[in-house]
Structure 1
């Protein structure tokens, strides 16, 4: 069978050329010999092409690359070089640093090489004196690791980390010291621990309580008695917090004069268990219960009393609640902040009527003129270039201060997924009505690796019974904000390679631009006619096998707007494909015309699309509130030589609710989020044109109708409606969550049938638990799905739980 390989060679050449384009002729030159740096040399004013290090033995290259990558492309000046050198010294990994420079053959770029001598490395970490805490647990608590560079200044920090570990376990008398020993192979670090006796809380009591029971108060505090679910560990810092929690609880139910500072501790040694047993008694003076009688404002001219009162969350006549009252005052101050008034002064004055047991307030406001932003600075960005961050913040030097714009900037930065944490602070400027804004970022890896296994259930011993999928992507290559991705599928019946490149700020504007290309080969099956090409009739089999070669190339552009209430996006693009279906056309006649139209010859399949979306989610990749809506229209068939001409509409809706968010520990909240999702896809063929089975909609069992993995070739149509409800419970914040999902998906022959001939028996249902990884570089979902349908008004279960490997997909 003759095969035309010219398009394949062309595709491979294009793929190579596509990724070779960024390398200029100058950059391709070999660098000349390195020279030591001196004042007034040739390298001033030349762009920095690379920064490298020689002499690294124990230092991870990523640690230093993250520091230096942000300087690539900068023009060499004394200021730039000094900033680079300061950052290298700040990581405190080297005893000696010797800079050298070299250039390309034409001297148009600068290559900087730092020849370094590392500080000694940690050979061993030893622990002595620990009896109640395992050595491995102590080593996990310290940040210092064996074979890493030894930094003497970290020893005091590591001692505190070990001490904190013991305090969490109730060892209030622990003492930790450290010592070091230098050897030829590195530094031995020894931590010496005097554990002391553990202090265990055996009883918590309260005196003076009349309005609230001891059982209720025990639920409000963090210290717990030793029991089945608690070790009863005592920490002095927790006791101080519990005093405030008790007072806060009373003040939220009207007891504004409560006193809870008086605490007695009774220690009883228990020699048998070798511990000190502690009884804690809180002596409480409840006072009287007060109701709230209102608030008056003084000094407000910018906003009226009515505008300020609209921010109050507590109304006159209600039992006084200090939390609601303080939230109300915060709402008032935020109203001023959001309009640029940061230099105002606020003072609440309490007016307490002890006879009538009421409390009111006078809120004195000293108004000043609006504040302007004097400077905007970024801290913590070792890799990401500063302009990549500042362009996402809709507030600039000279603007009126706006907290709303700052919150919008924080939302934009979090959605980039370049940072594990983003926060901000404002500092007084050089004058009273000037402020300096500081945005602090903690960078994280932007390289993601996805992999998957799909089991096909083939019985041929010469074929692999599974397909391997792998994808590598860096969404912030060299800190530039650009994204590069490579993915591949390898299996007996399918092989593919795809490459993509995207830019979120094209030409310095909030314009997105992307290009992607893919080459693939697969062995497929299709329904065939019982009458063969030679006229014979074969009723014994219904399928024919064919090979499909495909090369695809796509371009897209988009524009986004970021008002305070949402992110609005408008995008469009063009996709083109070359297809060739290889089979014996004299022997087989496929039912699907989209197979026969590309039989043994290369043909085009093109499409153009446009999309519009509105995103109100608080964070797009792991939202807990907000909504998302999008509409995408795609027209297939752009040239007369194509075989299919149809319109595809794709509508998506998402909604998120936080059901509850209960603080359990200082660093963890028990939280549940309810998610609802609906996706409606419709195909409308042009008059006189058909749609082949391979272009029709189906349930894949992986992203929609999860668990229905065996019907994607059997159930296809021109209308699909997929609905999902999920209950999401974060276990480890921003790392891991437990979910329970319910899916309902339906495929119909036409949009008309979906809207006018739909019943519950048409749906494919599935439900089950799952584990969702929230790390951007590891976006996996592990699900167990049980499938069922409604037949004759009753539920018909498949009676089998199926494992489904899926991915976390963010709709944008």
Structure 2
């Protein structure tokens, strides 16, 4: 039996404890802190799936209200037929309470069997139903499955389908049977219109969902679509001033096609168009909170224009939303139409019945089985007692989405206990937060004896224990490189939006670099053809601190940090002199390399991971060189010899080009993305920036497709990267197909960039890509075509920058990449 109230919960609890000797003292457990909450009798449900629900009660004092909430949450899961809560003394001799929850699980569905489906495959039907094998059996889901299968058949044109769902019990297990009698399929053979004069039949056909059977359409007939299509026809007319337009009748003439074993239906829409009207204006009455001038600015129609129904609806919505945004959720808006049939003018009076502002009664969170309540609540800028604000709800929606803890976030507003009170409900669905990156790269090519493959792996959990903390571990393994690094971070500290992060790592690599070689015959130094081998060891440590201001219009973030490294390059300095002086700087001695940085960003994207609209901008400044050589008297030659300032400016913009519904579950959507970024390095104190520390075209995120980062042309002190993308979600939240175009320029110095940027400094690439939009699988597969412009002509190049004779369509090459997100 389910108990909802604290009084009954306490009665049940006391009844369960009365026989235990340890509870001889009356009500010993009240107001004692809860130390642990454990479960007994779990069989199919995992205990870790329940931790996120009960963890928020740990360290709270034992009360009737706490037990009542526990009962409510356990039964709300629909996992259990019975729940019993018991209190036991902690190991500290009764100073704390251990709660034990004994449960009786509902039976699970072991199999789902479809019978009678010959036209629609079983796998397709399994995707439609709510129940899944190994799910807890729920009677409500059985009815929902029956409706879902029936609707799917009707949507496919099987209007005579009959579906029956029933269960078979085998001990404690359930087998769900779905019996189907498909009947004949009904297709639309022909669609006709009568009474249309000002609008052509071709135009009207394009506005309705029913389509004639043909080469590009199955023509499935759906009875319910007739009503929706009639409305679509009327709406189209009303949006062109024909306010009296009606669909008087829809004739259906079915014909049985015995040869094809289907019904073919002829449909005729009988239309009355009426006269065209102009807009005569709108008058507001009853408005006291907002002035008439303020409301008139929201009117989307001009007096004297052809009347458009959709613009009047938009006007009414804008007025309602203005009140709604300011907490007036219980107002009434009653439009009164005045139609001058003689002059064909239509005008409105919008009567507004104002009520007091609404306040938030409860903020309710449902569906978080792992993430703790407080992790979600701190992202919601609304608390009980606040004035209702739809903008703040959307801010919370954006913040919760950007956490990437949930596959779905659905805010809802419901009436509270009084007319001026509302409950705000956030329904969330947890998703995996463990991200695993793995793969391989080719290496060791300069040493024929080395195994030419490097394996790398990184595992990161961005919601450790459901507390919103991030922990990562990465490694690279090959014959020439080994590394390991760890990181930790969290976005809230001391209950404030303060982010903090730490990382530590070690790497060892065997490298080959150009060396200076004295040619005794010519008497010159050759630095182009001779290589040396050296080993590099590096320890690195970094920390960062930041603060966020979450506003309705976007999120502002200020961050700063410091990084430090100790590097040792091991080689025989009596024999070799490397061409790159940054190698000799760390020769056979642990030398430092440090930097301090600060950044500011503004994020107005609707989602940080896969945006559809909004923009992002950031500015980062970093200073390299904190411990100059000779800073310590006991080690006069120890320290940094390179000092420079680096700036990174980034700006990106997103907007949706198309979002057309194709089916109930898929929209044809196109999103435009544009990016520009300028990075510059400024050397100081008469030092130069070593080649290995200069900016470069990485070919993976900027200048995609190029592999010139190890050449002199691919490195410099100024890089201007630009790219544009057209993105099409193929499977929303899983997979997208993109088209990209990159243009990147690189120069040796900042002064050269602003005074002498030419065509020879630009590198271009374009092509399609397959992008996984799952946060745990940030992989991108690129097919890049690389080219340059020389003397006004397009020159196709291979990925190494060398011109070739390929045609543009045979110049594509594969590039493995990752999804790069700016924060």
| TM-score of the aligned structures, taking structure 2 as reference length | 0.88
C-alpha contact 2:404 2:775 (8 A) present in aligned 1: yes
Question: Are 1:458 and 2:442 an aligned pair?
Answer: no
1:116-136: CA deviation from partner (whole Å, max 9, x where unpaired): 665544443322222212233
Aligned to 1:397: 384
- Which residue of 598, 606, 626 corresponds with 1:638? 626
Quote the Cα distance in structure 1 between the aligned partners of 2:762 and 2:120: 55
Question: Are 1:601 and 2:589 an aligned pair?
Answer: yes
Aligned to 1:611: 599
Quote the Cα distance in structure 1 between the aligned partners of 2:214 and 2:657: 30
Aligned to 2:819: 808
Question: Are 1:677 and 2:675 an aligned pair?
Answer: yes
C-alpha contact 1:46 1:75 (8 A) present in aligned 2: yes
Aligned length: 775
- Which residue of 696, 699, 713 corresponds with 1:698? 696
C-alpha contact 1:69 1:479 (8 A) present in aligned 2: no
C-alpha contact 1:497 1:519 (8 A) present in aligned 2: yes
Question: Are 1:621 and 2:609 an aligned pair?
Answer: yes
Helix, strand or coil: the match of 1:508? coil
1:421-454: CA deviation from partner (whole Å, max 9, x where unpaired): 3333333444443333333333322222223333
Quote the Cα distance in structure 2 between the aligned partners of 1:226 and 1:429: 50
C-alpha contact 1:36 1:101 (8 A) present in aligned 2: no
Aligned to 2:414: 427
5 Å matches for 1:143-162?
143-162=130-149
Question: Are 1:656 and 2:647 an aligned pair?
Answer: no
Name which of structure 1's ranges 136-145 and 642-651 shifts more when overlaid on structure 2.
136-145
Aligned to 1:585: 573
Name which of structure 1's ranges 43-52 and 682-691 shifts more when overlaid on structure 2.
43-52
Shift of 1:482: 1.8
Helix, strand or coil: the match of 2:267? strand
Name which of structure 1's ranges 193-202 and 154-163 shifts more when overlaid on structure 2.
154-163
Aligned to 2:767: 768
Shift of 1:190: 2.6
Helix, strand or coil: the match of 1:647? strand
Name the CA shift for 1:106/1:139 in 2 (closer, same or farther; >3 Å): same
Question: Are 1:718 and 2:706 an aligned pair?
Answer: no
Shift of 1:405: 2.4
- Which residue of 199, 217, 227 corresponds with 2:204? 217
Question: Are 1:357 and 2:355 an aligned pair?
Answer: no
Helix, strand or coil: the match of 1:293? strand
C-alpha contact 2:49 2:370 (8 A) present in aligned 1: no
C-alpha contact 1:69 1:478 (8 A) present in aligned 2: no
Aligned to 2:218: 231
- Which residue of 273, 277, 288 corresponds with 2:260? 273
1:331-371: CA deviation from partner (whole Å, max 9, x where unpaired): 11222222233333221111101111110111112233433
Quote the Cα distance in structure 2 between the aligned partners of 1:442 and 1:281: 45
C-alpha contact 2:208 2:229 (8 A) present in aligned 1: yes
Quote the Cα distance in structure 2 between the aligned partners of 1:103 and 1:549: 54
Name which of structure 1's ranges 82-91 and 394-403 shifts more when overlaid on structure 2.
82-91
1:604-660: CA deviation from partner (whole Å, max 9, x where unpaired): 211111001112222222222222111101111111222321111111011123223
Helix, strand or coil: the match of 1:775? coil
Quote the Cα distance in structure 2 between the aligned partners of 1:102 and 1:537: 83
C-alpha contact 2:207 2:233 (8 A) present in aligned 1: yes
5 Å matches for 1:726-745?
726-745=725-744
Question: Are 1:322 and 2:309 an aligned pair?
Answer: yes
Name the CA shift for 1:612/1:380 in 2 (closer, same or farther; >3 Å): same
- Which residue of 69, 89, 102 corresponds with 1:83? 69
Quote the Cα distance in structure 2 between the aligned partners of 1:589 and 1:104: 69
Name which of structure 1's ranges 356-365 and 792-801 shifts more when overlaid on structure 2.
792-801
5 Å matches for 1:92-111?
92-94=78-80
1:20-68: CA deviation from partner (whole Å, max 9, x where unpaired): xxxxxxxxxxxxxxx9997846696335456466653x44666445544
1:288-345: CA deviation from partner (whole Å, max 9, x where unpaired): 1111111112222332222111111111111111111111111112222222333332
Name the CA shift for 1:371/1:139 in 2 (closer, same or farther; >3 Å): closer
Q: Which runs of 5+ in 1 are unaligned?
A: 1-34
Aligned to 2:288: 301
Shift of 1:238: 2.1
Helix, strand or coil: the match of 2:592? strand
Helix, strand or coil: the match of 1:397? coil
Q: Which runs of 5+ in 2 are unaligned?
A: 1-19, 629-638, 798-805
Q: CA RMSD in A?
A: 2.9
Quote the Cα distance in structure 2 between the aligned partners of 1:442 and 1:55: 22
Name which of structure 1's ranges 267-276 and 117-126 shifts more when overlaid on structure 2.
117-126
Question: Are 1:409 and 2:407 an aligned pair?
Answer: no
Name the CA shift for 1:37/1:551 in 2 (closer, same or farther; >3 Å): farther
Shift of 1:142: 2.9
Shift of 1:811: 0.9
Quote the Cα distance in structure 2 between the aligned partners of 1:180 and 1:36: 45
Aligned to 2:178: 191
